[in-house]
Amino acid sequence: MPDPVVAAPIPKPREDLYYFCDETSFIGEDFMGIGGLAIRRDRLSETANKLAAIREARGARGRIKWESTRDVNLDVRRDYVDYMVGLVTEGKIHLHLRFAPFSQYEHPGPRRVYDTVSKMYYQLLLHRAVRNYGTKCRIFIRPDDGPCTSELEQFVEALHIDGQLRYKTAADCIHSIKCINSRKEPLLEFLDVTLGALTAFRNGRHLRPGTRDAKRILAEHGAMRESW
């Protein structure tokens, strides 16, 4: 009798995961911050709707950014930080932060500091996004647009190769890298507020004379929740 035909196992479909990333200002700072927010596709709408509800409840207008923190708009930003903490604690999102001693770096390359930050993004994407999710997910990487991220789209294949060599990830784990304007993406603003507050605290900027009270309060509020 012929050998029975054994059907190959059907591979499980991979989840779609979005990875939003952003950096803080690095001019005149000892440390710069770079961050990534990982969230499944099926949680995008729920999260965006909650952010919209927070804005509406606080009567917020315009962009929700760390840099524009004032007394009049402090509450909505504090609510953003609290919501971020809650999602991380519940395991609904993952937040990756790195504070780099930027003042100690040399900046070779034609674009100087922009190339340095771009390399930091590459390390974040490889050692966090690709390593953590590259075996089970299709990753949609969405950095805030700007000179530091403008060349990242060219490195998909390099990330695939490094991911396979280092972490045995899927050869096509990154679906795409597309830089987007945070004006059009509430999840990037969501990341910006927490990243900005914690980076300010890391630099001790909240203690400097002339720092707005609202920024000091938000930086300290974020740091107190850092045990999340």
CA 173 – CA 215 distance, rounded (Å):
39
- Non-local (6+) Cβ contacts of 155 within 8 A are 122, 125, 177
Q: Which of 177, 88, 73 is nearest to 125 (CA)?
A: 177
pLDDT at 14: 87
CA 223 – CA 215 distance, rounded (Å):
12
CA 54 – CA 71 distance, rounded (Å):
17
| Radius of gyration, alpha carbons of the chain | 20
Domains of the chain: 15-224 (3.30.420.10)
Q: Which of 51, 58, 83 is nearest to 185 (CA)?
A: 51
Instruction: List the beta bridge partners of residue 212.
Output: none
What's the pLDDT tens digit per position in 99-157?
A: 988 776 665 655 677 888 889 999 999 999 999 999 999 999 999 999 989 999 999 99
Instruction: List the beta bridge partners of residue 77.
Output: none
Say if CB 94 and CB 132 are below 8 A apart.
yes
Name the strands in the sheet holding 174-177, side by side, starting at the edge strand that comes first in the sequence: 94-100, 32-40, 15-23, 137-143, 174-177
Say if CB 140 and CB 129 are below 8 A apart.
no
CA 87 – CA 201 distance, rounded (Å):
21
Query: Residue 29 corresponds to which amino acid?
Result: E
pLDDT at 117: 87
CA 24 – CA 139 distance, rounded (Å):
23
CA 13 – CA 11 distance, rounded (Å):
6
pLDDT at 206: 82
Average pLDDT over residues 176-202: 95
- CB count in 10 Å sphere of residue 221: 17
What's the pLDDT tens digit per position in 1-26?
A: 566 555 555 567 789 999 999 998 76
